[in-house]
Amino acid sequence: MNATGDTVILHHELAYADVLPVAFRALQGPLDAVQASAIGERNLRMLLACAALDEHGKHDKAADDTPNGADIQRIDLKVNLLLDMVGALLAASQSRPPAVPARFNPHGIVWESAGAVPASGAHGLVEIHLKDCLVHPVALEGTVAEGPADRHVHVRFDPLPDPVADQLERLVFRRHRRQVAGGRTQRRA
């Protein structure tokens, strides 16, 4: 795990880095096919919803030259406010793990544990709450790869279904693109 300038790397690939609620739930063994399929479908829905929410805020430019540009921008701001309020209500009504620094990509995750640290070799589900307004976390099956160092937990994910892996890669890339653009804006200021 390392960061070079604007680029966050994990397992030799781009990674998503943020402070997020993350939890590890130990399993007795691998999920059966039905459970894995249901979790995969839910993960895909959550990642697609996250992508839609990320795209929702793209219209930051001053009112377009279109006749209804200002109206669309006002509606967009109101929808964003509504999503933030719903997210705050959901976050307050649900028990979530504490937010901790985390980096992940389709191959694995590293996070700074705020509670009990899972044992090396433990198999389970890593639950990552990407957004407050999403009810369910993304739950990825994997194995604790090495003993924790300074409370950092390393989990290697089991192979993900292609649609889930693709959406995770897109999430990571969108985040990287926003970080690079934000870095450029700060350097210009």
H helical segments located in 20-150: 33-56, 69-93
pLDDT at 125 over 70: yes
How far is 149 from 172, CA to CA, in rounded Å? 25
Q: Is residue 181 part of a domain?
A: yes
Nearest to 180 by CA among 42, 2, 4, 37: 4
The amino acid sitting at 158 is D
The amino acid sitting at 71 is D
Residue 105's domain comprises 2-58+96-188
Looking at residue 1, what is its pLDDT? 47
How far is 173 from 167, CA to CA, in rounded Å? 10
Q: Is residue 88 part of a domain?
A: no
User: What CATH number should be reported for the domain holding residue 106?
Assistant: 2.40.10.220
Q: Is residue 84 part of a domain?
A: no
Q: Is residue 171 part of a domain?
A: yes
Sheet of 13-14, strand order: 2-4, 7-10, 13-14
Contact 146, 154 (CB under 8 A): yes
Looking at residue 127, what is its pLDDT? 97
Question: How would you class 93 by CB atoms within 10 Å of its CB: exposed for 0-12, middle for 13-18, buried for 19 or more?
Answer: exposed
Arithmetic mean of pLDDT, 114-118: 87
Domain count, the chain: 1
Looking at residue 4, what is its pLDDT? 45
Q: For 61-95, how does the pLDDT look when each residue is reduced to its tens digit (9 = 90+)?
A: 544 567 788 888 888 888 878 887 887 787 777 78
Q: Is residue 112 part of a domain?
A: yes
Q: Which residues pair with 124 in a beta bridge?
A: 26, 142
Higher-confidence residue of 92 and 138: namely 138
